[in-house]
Amino acid sequence: MKCRYSPVIIAFIVCIAIPCTASSRGHFQGNVKGSALPGIYWDPHYTADFSLGWRFNEKRFLGLGTGCHWLKRTSSDGPDYSNGFVPAIPLFADYIRYYPFAKHQRTSFYLGMEAGGAYYIKKLPLTTDTQRLFPYLNGKLGFDFGIHNNLGVNVGLNLIWGCQQGFSLTGGGGHGIAMTVGFRF
């Protein structure tokens, strides 16, 4: 005897089975971090970023992120910068590779990379209105300390390379090392 509800029952079982099998292989993960670039090689720069993505296993994470960046400027850069900071909105891809310690699986060394661009809300000195999008690369290294289940604290360094002249990779760039503190959930 054929049941007319069998497609609904099969769809229900599949909808329950997919998340259960996927969670044993990976899960969604969010990262929140703040960093400060003191201005050794570049203008002082502060960030607050959030990325959301997929943690494939205990070693790999891939996500997309956004946040807010503040670039410190002085009145010598022009009358529009007397307030001190120029805000920017970044959009980036985030990849992290974790290396768990053998005895302490909840503590890991990590290496990662962010690639994206920041859109400066105010025009920077010596640029045109069309040069507000600045690409950057951000290499990351540090330690991830697991606190409880998927919650952790990150402490590390960011190795930043960015272009200050639009998409011209050879003209006017900046690089530096930023200290970061963040959370993983």
Question: Does any domain span residue 18?
Answer: no
* Whole-number Cα distances in Å, 167 to 1, 41, 73: 67, 20, 21
Whole-model pTM: value is: 0.74
Question: Does any domain span residue 12?
Answer: no
Question: Does any domain span residue 11?
Answer: no
Residue 168: which domain range? 26-184
Residues in the chain: 185
* Whole-number Cα distances in Å, 175 to 45, 67, 124, 132, 135: 11, 20, 17, 18, 12
Question: Does any domain span residue 5?
Answer: no
* Blockwise average pLDDT, block size 10, the chain, 185 residues: 50 44 66 79 77 91 91 60 73 94 85 90 64 83 90 90 54 70 89
Q: What is the CATH number of the domain that holds 160?
A: 2.40.160.20
Strands, E, within 121-172: which ranges? 133-148, 151-163
Question: Does any domain span residue 7?
Answer: no
* pLDDT confidence of residue 26: 81
Helix (H) or strand (E) holding 18: helix 6-25
Question: Does any domain span residue 10?
Answer: no
* pLDDT confidence of residue 75: 53
Question: Does any domain span residue 19?
Answer: no
Which contacts (CB < 8 Å, 24+ apart) does range 167-172 have? 167/133, 167/135, 169/135
Question: Does any domain span residue 2?
Answer: no
Do β-strands 107-120 and 85-100 pair in parallel, antiparallel, or remain unpaired? Answer: antiparallel
Counting the structural domains of the chain, the total is 1
